[in-house]
Structures are given as structure tokens and as C-alpha cells.
Amino acid sequence: MNLEPVPQLLVFGVFVGALYGVAAVGLALVFGVMRVLNVAHGELLMIGGYASFWLFTLWRVDPFVSLLATAPILFVMGLALNGGLFSHVVRLDEETKIKNSLLIGFGLALILQNLAIQLWTADERSVTAAYSGLGLQLFGIVFPYTRLGGLAAALLGIFALHVFLQRTYVGKSIRATAEDWEAAELAGVSVRSVYLITFALGSALAGVAGTLVSVGFTIAPSIGLTWTIKALVVVVLAGLGNVFGVFAAGVLLGVAEALSVLAIGPAYREVVGLALFLVVLLLRPQGLFGAR
């Protein structure tokens, strides 16, 4: 086996895994706090990618600058979706809540896919900035500027979320609600408002991931399911309750997929994620970084 491309594959895996991590953190936050499984999370990511594409195409807004618009846009969209759809299931028992949220998510995914087709057609799109295709080369390893920028934005977003959850009153209310919503409500926390903000934050993180995907990959109305599955795999790998753990699990998945190209070829790289998913689910159901 030729080991020369291993360092480059490792770097590529970290770049891709950072996107997996950002996409998964939003899904993990919503499920961990609300116990709502939003299977339309990938479609929200897709909308974020198209928002950046639109801003770049119409007004030449740099994709990384457009994060300042796409995150708030998806935040507001999350407020609307939670208020109009998911708020009706949060007070149900956990099993019924998950089943009903799945049905709502599937319906929402279909609506958003068809809306995207009407607005942008089914063609694949991407954002090609002036620096796309350029990069640094160190020790024979190429570091594309777009991927470096994506990694930096992903790390900044995860760190900002961590600080928000740890240092602000709203963040502490979110963590308290995740632990025990009844006790949090008795302590004076507005659980309804916490759920609203949590879903909006998860949607905003999907928008951030969508923008980063639009720079390094192509976006199309059909990508939502793929990214939802990736996010679910990462959440299972990581477990709940640890923002950095979810991000690290995303990087782990990205590196594993990248290195699998040498062992089993690119055609089967998707199998690696599913294999990790099953192994962790069987041997450590609480995830690599989750508490028992």
C-alpha cells in the first residue's frame, strides 16, 4: 500500500470532518434539549447554502462574510418553524414526541426540497470565490484557502456556542432544561422560550454549515438527506451533552472516511461511517463522549 498520500488524506479528512461536526452540533443541540428529532435538518443546511449562493451571485458577497447573513436568516427561520410546527409536540411524552417530530420533519423536508427546486432549479450550484483553487503548500501537503477558512469558521462557531452555553443566562437555562425541564420550570426558567431559542440556534448552525458546504462542495435540493444522515451518525458517535465532543466525532468520521479510500477505495467510503455507527451503537450506546 502506498502511504505517500496519507498526510494529505488526513488533512482533507479534518477539513470535511469539521463540516460534519458543525452540521451535527445543531442537530444534537435540538435533540438533547427538546428531544425532538428534526430530520429536515439537512434541508435547513441546504437553504443556508443556497442563501450564500444567492448573496454571492447577486451582490458578490464573499461566502465567509455571508455567514453574517445566513446564520441570522436561518435563526429567524428556526423561530418560525418551531413556533408553527415543532412547538406542538414538545410537551408530549418522549416516545410520541420523537415519532411526531419525525413525521413533521419528513413533511418539512419535502416542502423545502420542492421550494428549492422552484427557486433555484435542480441543478447543482457552488460558490466560486476569487481564491477558490488557491492554497498553501507545506511539506508537500496542500491546504486550500477555502478549506482553511471553513475550518476556522467551524471552530469559531463551536467555540462561540460553547461560551454562550456556559457563560450566559440563556445558555445556562438551555443546559438546565436539557437536564430536567420540570425542575428548570420550577426554578423560574421559561421552558417554552428555551425551546424556541434552542431550535433557532440549531437552525442557525445548519445555516453556517450550509454556507461552508457551498464553498467546498456543490449544493442541490437533494443534498438534505445525505447531510441529515451524516449528522445523525456523528451524534451517535459522540453522544449528547458535549459540544466539543460532537465536533470531535465529526472530525473522526471525516478522517476515517478519508483514510478508507486507501483501504477499500472511494466507492465504499460511505460504508465506513455506517460501520462506525453500528460498532459504537453496540459497544458504547451513550457515545464516545457521552455520559452513562
Instruction: Kindly report whether the global pTM for this prediction surpasses the value 0.75.
Output: yes
- The pLDDT tens digits of the residues spanning 89-103 come to 887 888 889 899 999
- Looking at the domain assignment, is residue 213 inside a domain? yes
pLDDT at 260: 86
114 found inside a domain: yes
Task: Provide the pairing of β-strand 135-138 with 141-144.
Answer: antiparallel
Secondary structure of residue 141 in the 3-state scheme: strand
Question: Given pLDDT bands bounded at 50, 70 and 90, which one contains residue 291?
Answer: low
| Alpha-carbon span 115 to 290, nearest angstrom | 37
Average pLDDT over residues 208-223: 94
- Residue 6 inside a domain? The answer is no
Average pLDDT over residues 200-228: 95
- CB-CB contact of 27 with 44 (8 Å): no
Query: Which pLDDT does position 5 carry in this prediction?
Result: 82
pLDDT of residue 3 exceeding 70? no
Domain membership flag for residue 135 = yes
Average pLDDT over the chain, rounded to whole?
92
Interval 33-61 mean pLDDT: 95
pLDDT value at 1 more than 80: no
Q: Is residue 267 part of a domain?
A: no
Does the residue 246 lie in any domain?
A: no
Q: Is residue 230 part of a domain?
A: no
Confidence band (pLDDT; 50, 70, 90) for 4? low
**Integer angstrom CA distances of residue 139 from 4, 5, 142, 191, 261:** 12, 12, 9, 52, 22
Please state, in angstroms and as integers, the Cα–Cα distance from residue 16 to each residue in 67, 148, 164, 286, following that order: 18, 11, 25, 24
pLDDT in tens, 125-180: 989 988 988 999 988 889 999 999 999 999 999 999 999 999 999 999 999 999 99
Is residue 232 assigned to a domain? Answer: no
Instruction: Determine the pLDDT at residue 292.
Output: 57
| Residue span of the structural domain in which 126 resides | 19-221
Tell me how many domains the chain contains: 1
CA-CA distances (angstroms) from residue 263 to 99, 234, 256, 275? 38, 22, 11, 14
* pLDDT for residue 139: 83
